[in-house]
Structures are given as C-alpha cells and as structure tokens.
Structure 1
Amino acid sequence: MKSSVLFFLSFLLCYVNSEAQQAKPTDLKATKETVSLYANLKNVMKKGYLVGHQDALAYGVNWKYEPGRSDIKDVTGDYPALYGWELGGIELGAKMNLDSVPFDKMRHYIEDGYRRGGVITISWHGTNPYTGKTAWDPTPGSVAAILPGAEKHDVYQAQLDKIADFLLSLKGSKGELIPVLFRPLHELTGGWFWWGAKSSSVDEFKTLFQYTVKYLRDVKEVHNLLYVYNTGGEFNNAEQFLERYPGDDLIDVVSFDTYQGGKAEIDTAFINDLDRHLTIIEAVAKEKNKIPAVAEMGFSKIPYSKWFTEAVAKAFTGHHFAYTLFWRNAGYKPGDQTTEYYVPFKGHASAPDFISYYNLPQTIFQKEASKLNLYK
C-alpha cells in the first residue's frame, strides 16, 4: 500500500514538474515576470481570452491624451485587458511614433496598464532599412539587402538597437522589466510590407526573423519579450501558415490578423474564415506547445451594430486562445477627412452590443485580468 502511494506521489510530482517545464518561454533567460505571464496566458485559455485595444489609453474618438480615459472604459466602465502599442519611427530617433503618440507618453501608458495587471503587446512598422522609405515599401530585395553581411545590414542593426533601448526602459514600480508580447515583421504573408512575401524568399525571411530575435535576446540581452509569429489571413492550412515560421526555439505565440470589410450586415464568410483560421492555429499551437492568439482584428466604423455578439463571439465559440486585439480608434483624420475606429465609443450604435460582448463569460477585460495575477 505504502509503495503504491509513493508511486502515485512520484508520478504526480513528475507530472507537475513536466507541466511547469512546458510552460516556459523560448528565452531561457526570460525574467520571472515574463515566465509567469507565459504560463498564465496558457492558463487563461481554459477560462476565456483577453480582449485588447490598440492605443487604448492615448486617444479615442474626439479626445486625446486625457488621463485615465479609454473608449472601451467610456462604454463598459472597464479598461481592456490587453494594450497594443506601436514603435514605428523610433528606429529613426523620432520623438513620436507614426501614429503621433510621443514615446515618452507611450512609456507612461505601458507602465499604467502593467500596474493594473494588464498585458502589453507591441508591433513595429519600421522604416525600410534598404530604401529609407516607409514600412509599406515592398521593394524587391529589401530583406536580402539587410541580412548579415549584406550592404544595409548595419542600418537594420542600428534600428534594432533603438528598439532594444526602448524595451529595456519599460519598468514596473520595483524596477522589474515589463513583459511585452513583441510581434515584429507581422502580417508576414502579405505583400504590403518590406518584409513580406513580395520582398523576400522564404529562407530570407526566416533568416531575418532569426537574426532579429537572437540579436535582441543574445546580444542586447532583452529578456522581457514573448515573441509572436503573426501572419495575415493568407493561409488555408497549417503548411501555408507555417511556411515562413522561423523555428520553435524562437516563437512563443502563433497568431494571425483578420479584418471584416464590406457592407453593414452579417458576413457569414468572415465568420467561417475566422473559425477556420482559429482551428488551424489552435492545432499548430497544440502540436508545437505554443500560445494561439488573434493578434489584430476589426471592422472599420462597425457599421453592423451587433457585430461583436453575432460575428466575433459566434466565430470564437468553441475555440481556446489567449487573446485578441481590436485595432485603434484613430478618430477624425484630417488627411483623408474620415473617422476611423474599431471599438464603439459612448453613444455609438454598437455600444449596447459591445456591453453584451463585455458581459460574456469568456471575454476578459481589465478588472478580471487584475484578479488573475498574470505576473505571479
């Protein structure tokens, strides 16, 4: 009897240790808080998923830089659980990013979200190091020209130095580095960015991603990052999704971006595609022991007033992933004289539906995320 009990306890201890070992990020020197976030994001999927918003604290429709405000908070009384930010422009030494958010303010907003127990994700639409033009300059040969030993490699390395400096400046109240879900070279399957499918071969892209991670991790010693592999929606199976995948030893999160367009009505094709893509990446995540996520999504101006409950929630039903991020509420844009937003603001027709979405048991916003102690 005693030997049976000891065997069971030994088995249980091995199982617990095995689970603990599996719930670790690829960076073997990751900070304690980063390791905890990784493990807790895996656990979150058993309950639901974090809901995020890009630039949530910086501005919204008809307001900018008002302390403590966000459009989601105006509508629901709660902040998002995930805060998205953008570093485009920092590689040039600019004071503000390409969406006109000053980096000093951004740092404060990141610290604010982290202090509440929220999660930070950062993208980087960096300037093309080969041509000096914007991220949306898919000049062929751009990636080949910046790989190690190539003519513009030093330019890209200098850009990464600026990225590293900012990421290492993000600190909590005890001086600890703030963990970040970092998704460089995102929407990599599309053809609109200089790092995309039109500007690089599969091997060139893989080499670029591998260099990016290893330089930040091993040379600059940035150990507060979880690395996100982030495609567009240009895949129909796991093989296509993984075509440019740089390796299990570099990636913590597998994800894709998706947007609905078109008329102010329910779009069955969008729902079916979202459902299908989630099924694919969940299977990939399970096979590779990664975290699945929807890295960006939205429906510009939300013309269908029940989009969140009848499209998003419907597509997400039965799926298990860690988070989704709705794109930014840029508000009025003088350049093209349009108003851009992806979550409702107070008084918008879809606000009541968003409150219903907020109240779903599987959606996790800031108040609930704070109780989860994601960094412990």
Structure 2
Amino acid sequence: MERKNSLLPCNPNASKEVIAVLNYLNDMAGRGVITGQHTQTREQKELYYIEQITGKLPALCGFELLSYSPNISYDSCDEECKKEIRENEGTLETAMTFAKKYGGLITFTWHWFSPLYNKNKGFYTVNSDFDASKVLVEGSKERIAFYSDMDVIASYLKPFRDAKIPILWRPFHESEGNWFWWSAKGMKVASKLYQLMYEHYVTVHKLDNLIWVWNCPKIEGYVGDAYVDIISRDLYPPAHEHTDRAREYRELIQITPTKKLCALAEIGTIPSVKELSSSRIPWSYYMTWSNEFGGSDQFTSKEELCLAYHDSYAITLDKLPKLYECQTII
C-alpha cells in the first residue's frame, strides 16, 4: 500500500515551511496518522472534550471561515444561520493562536456564501441562484464577484503567510456533490474554479504558505496534478464503525496515477487507529468534524477515542515535531 509522494509542491515557489510539512507527511505515510479535529467556533469545545477524555490534543486543528464570506445576506438569515455566523467570528485569531502557541498543523474549511444572489445559508445550492459556470465567462458579473470575494479572503490569509505559518488549504470541498453552489453545475466547473483560485492566489497574492488539498474522490472531477499537493475525501460512516478505510483509500488513489499524499479531510466516525497500525494504509491525516462528531460520544465512544489517541501509531500534538517557526508580525 506504500505510495510515496514526489515531495515537489505544486506551487514552485512554495515556502520552506510548506516543504517541511510535506516532507514530514511523506516520511510518516504508513508509519503513523496525524490526528485532527475541526472546530468552527472560537470556543473550540471539541478540543476541550478530547483533552478531557484523552489527556491529549490533536496535532491538526481545523478552522471554519464561513463568517468571513463577503456577501452574506444577513436580512434573509434565520436564527440558526445568524447563530452559526456569530459563533464563527474571530476564528482566524484562534487559528493564529493555535499555530503560535502549539506549533500545530492547521487546516481551513470555507463554507463560502455565494458571491451573488444568496439567502440564508448561501453556501448551499438551494439557497443561492449563483451560476458557477458563469464565472468562467470573461467580464461576467459572476466572475467579477468571484474574484472580489477571493481577494477579500486572500487579505485574511496573508498574515499567516507573513508569520511563516503553513496552511492546509481545502477550497471547494466535496465537489463530487451538488449541495454546494460551486459544484451545482458539475464537478468539472468546480475544478475550473479551483484552478482559477490557485492561479490567482499563487501568481497575484503570492500565498506561498498554502498546501493545496483537493477534496473529491471522482476521477472525472480531478483538477489535475499541477494544482494539488494532497488528495482527500470526506466520509461519514455509521456511528461506531471504525475501520482503516482501506476501500475508500483504494477508490481515492484511482483519480491519478501520480503518487500523492492522501487524507481523510473530514470524517464523522474516526478511523480505527489500531487497524491502521496493522494495515499501514497511508492516510496522512484525518480530521473529525465538529459538534456531535468530535465533541461527544454519539459517533465515537470515549473508550475508542482514548484508545486511538494513546495508540503508538497516532500522532498527537505532543508527538508532532517542530515543523515551522512562527514569525512576529510588526
């Protein structure tokens, strides 16, 4: 099952910190799995839960950027949407603190409220009339708004670049489905949007601290090796079903003959770390989703969580080597 990455970042100008992370992930492939947990609020209740149960913290922490979307239609938001936005505010500061205090790995998820024509939770297709295919048309309103939103988010990412903090960046996630506006017109359109973002962020904004994570397990939607450092997929298995996810790994690697690092970018029920230590399926990392998935025993029992975090194969925060040196921004 060993698939060693070529270690060449897709961005030829990638920072030394990006290279260090990719080298580490490659070295550990099949020798250990990085534990990860998504948090979408500043409270980070999931981290407190994990530490209470296991006495440890994950090596990777995920953060949500939905509240930073420039085009939220607040007047149409219901109370649930407003609460989600409000609780997500300030998570970039929390991410910066996690990186500077612990030197842990960070990854960002962006439930992007569509650049135009949205209501309520406007990242969902059902709540947006935004036609992603029109972004591909030069001079269209959709294209202009798309780039405007990207520029705003780039301004939030630049302090991380300046502080020498690498980010596992996973835009346009779950592009195999049609539930988000970016893939409502198909996987190929979503992959084109990803390419536009890559080119804009690399050539215009010089965001050389980004590690580019593609998040779609379908070969027909693959964006191409030139834009990807890590291939990944999201999984939500039944509660308390813990395996090494070997079948899902074999499916994922079919999208490219190139040996790419692989990750479980979102998962509801954690994989079996014990099985992974035996099968050596080289998942680089997994990131448990938030709320009931990572902050309760509804999907993963306390016993299973404790066994996973204390397995010698699990890379928790205390086992993670120093991969980057944060710089103070003046």
- Would the TM-score normalized by the shorter structure come out above 0.5? yes
- The reply on whether 1:327 has 2:289 as its aligned counterpart is yes
**Map of 1:14 onto structure 2:** none
Deviation, structure 1 residue 289: 3.0
Residue in structure 2 matched with residue 135 of structure 1 by the alignment: 123
The residue type equivalent to 2:190 in the other structure is F
1:98 is paired with a residue of what secondary structure?
helix
Provide the residue aligned with 1:80 in structure 2. 58
Deviations 1:160-191 (A, max 9, x none): 011111111126xxx53211010010000012
Structure 1 match to 2:76: none
Q: Is the 8 A contact 1:96 1:102 kept in 2?
A: no
Classify 1:80/1:111 alpha carbon distance in 2 versus 1 (closer, same or farther; 3 Å). Answer: same
- C-alpha distance in 1, partners of 2:14/2:84? 27
CA separation of 1:226 and 1:160: change in aligned 2, threshold 3 A = same
Which amino acid is the alignment partner of residue 211 of structure 2? Answer: L
Distance change in 2, residues 1:136/1:257 (3 Å)? same
Q: Does the CA-based 8 Å contact 1:24-1:39 persist in structure 2?
A: no
Distance 1:96 1:167, change over 3 A: farther
Q: Distance in 1 between matches of 2:32 and 2:247?
A: 18
Whichever of the two has the greater Rg, that structure is 1
Instruction: Give the deviation of 1:220 after TM superposition.
Output: 1.4
Partner residue of 2:328? none
Deviation of 1:294 (Å): 0.5
Hey, what does 1:292 align to over in structure 2? 262
Task: Report the Cα distance in structure 1 between the residues aligned to 2:226 and 2:29, rounded to whole angstroms.
Answer: 22
Aligned-partner Cα distance in 2 for 1:87–1:360: 32
Over the residues paired in the alignment, what is the CA RMSD in angstroms?
A: 3.1
Match in the other structure for 2:78: none
TM-score (norm 2): 0.82
Q: Does 1:147 align with 2:136?
A: yes
Q: Could you tell me how far apart the structure 2 residues matched to 1:221 and 1:192 are?
A: 31
Distance 1:352 1:271, change over 3 A: closer
1:31 and 1:315, CA in 2 relative to 1: closer, same or farther beyond 3 A? closer
* Structure 2 CA distance for partners of 1:99 and 1:362, relative to 1, 3 Å: farther
Q: 1:316 to 1:361 in 2, by over 3 A?
A: closer
Native 8 Å contact 2:59 2:317 kept in 1: yes
CA contact (8 A) 1:344 1:354 kept: no
Greater relative contact order (CA < 8 Å, ≥ 6 in sequence)? 2
Cα distance, 1:356 vs structure 2:
1.1
Letter in 1 for 2:99: G
Q: Runs of 4+ in structure 1 displaced over 6 angstroms?
A: 93-97
Match of 1:362 in 2: 313
AA partner of residue 263 (structure 2) = A
Amino acid at match of 1:225: L
Corresponding residue of 1:351 = 302
Unaligned 5+ runs, structure 2:
73-81, 326-330
2: distance between equivalents of 1:78 and 1:89? 29
In structure 2, the residue matched to 1:342 is 294
Alignment of 1:276 with 2:247, yes or no, is yes
CA contact (8 A) 2:135 2:146 kept: yes
Letter in 1 for 2:224: G
Task: Indicate yes or no: 2:182 matched with 1:195.
Answer: yes
Q: 1:282 to 1:145 in 2, by over 3 A?
A: closer
Give the TM-score taking structure 1 as reference length. 0.72
Within the candidate set 183, 189, 211, 2:170 is matched to: 183
Three-state SS of the structure 2 residue aligned to 1:255 is strand
The match for 1:101 is 88
* Percent of matched pairs sharing the same residue: 24
> How many angstroms apart in 1 are the aligned matches of 2:17 and 2:124?
34
Once the 2 structures are TM-superposed, how far is the Cα of residue 86 of structure 1 from its aligned partner? 1.1
State which drifts further: 248-257 or 82-91: 82-91
